[in-house]
């Protein structure tokens, strides 16, 4: 009995130490927590829709230092009016543009075969590496994951 209580206590401690928390939030609340939001496009393979504030735009631009990302003013009611948006074909950009995408996380996988969520995640990891906070909306799971800035 004592062993089971100890194991239960250890399991609870592991659960409490996890950094992942679940709660319900709106897109506008997510926008208050991050610098960029990414959504993989399920209708146009390879494309990711991005919304970003000034810092987020800077982080995304830094991922493609020799090219200019064309940002548009987004008037979507779910994000603040000072945010901008754009769409990017990630496999094409990775192939044709000088970039600082964290491609090592793909372990050499073909980006043309990647899921929309994986491409959005790749961009979010890049923003995190640039010092920004980002979120990915995983459409099929109706879930948002937030990634904080790197401390190194």
In whole angstroms, give the CA distance from residue 101 to residue 80. 26
The per-residue pLDDT of the chain, averaged, comes to 82
DSSP state of 152: -
Task: Tell me if 139 is assigned to some domain.
Answer: yes
Q: Does residue 16 lie in a domain region?
A: no
Is residue 60, in this structure, part of any structural domain at all? yes
How many whole angstroms from its chain centre is CA 110?
A: 19
Res 143 pLDDT > 80: no
Q: What's the pLDDT tens digit per position in 5-41? A: 444 445 445 434 445 566 677 777 888 899 999 999 9
State both tokens at 121. Answer: 């995640």
Segments forming the whole domain that contains residue 64: 22-147
Nearest to 51, CA basis, from 87, 26, 100 = 87
Residue 8 lies in a domain: no
Return the H-helix or E-strand segment holding 32: helix 27-33
CB 45: neighbour CB atoms within 10 A?
Answer: 15
152 in any annotated domain: no
Is 4 within a domain? no
In a domain, 11, yes or no: no
Q: What number is the average pLDDT over the span 118-131?
A: 94
pLDDT digits (tens, 9 = 90+) for 72-88: 986 777 788 889 999 99
Q: Domain for residue 140, yes or no?
A: yes
Number of separate domains in the chain: 1
Nearest C-alpha neighbor of 127 from the set 88, 96, 95, 92: 88
> What spatial distance separates the first Cα and last Cα of the chain, rounded to whole Å?
45
CA dist., res. 36 & res. 99, Å (int): 18
Is there a contact between 81 and 116 (Cβ–Cβ < 8 Å)? no
């Amino acid at each position: 009995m004592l062993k089971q209580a100890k194991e239960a206590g250890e399991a609870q401690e592991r659960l409490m130490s996890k950094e992942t928390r679940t709660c319900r939030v709106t897109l506008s609340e997510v926008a208050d927590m991050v610098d960029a939001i990414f959504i993989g496009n399920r209708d146009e393979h390879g494309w990711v829709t991005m919304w970003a504030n000034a810092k987020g735009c800077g982080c995304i631009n830094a991922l493609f230092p020799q090219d200019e990302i064309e940002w548009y003013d987004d008037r979507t009611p779910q994000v603040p009016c000072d945010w901008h948006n754009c769409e990017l074909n990630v496999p094409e950009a990775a192939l044709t543009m000088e970039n600082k995408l964290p491609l090592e996380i793909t372990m050499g996988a073909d980006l043309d075969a990647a899921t929309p969520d994986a491409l959005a995640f790749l961009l979010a990891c890049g923003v995190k590496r640039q010092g920004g906070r980002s979120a990915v909306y995983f459409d099929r799971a109706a879930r948002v994951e937030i990634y904080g800035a790197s401390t190194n």
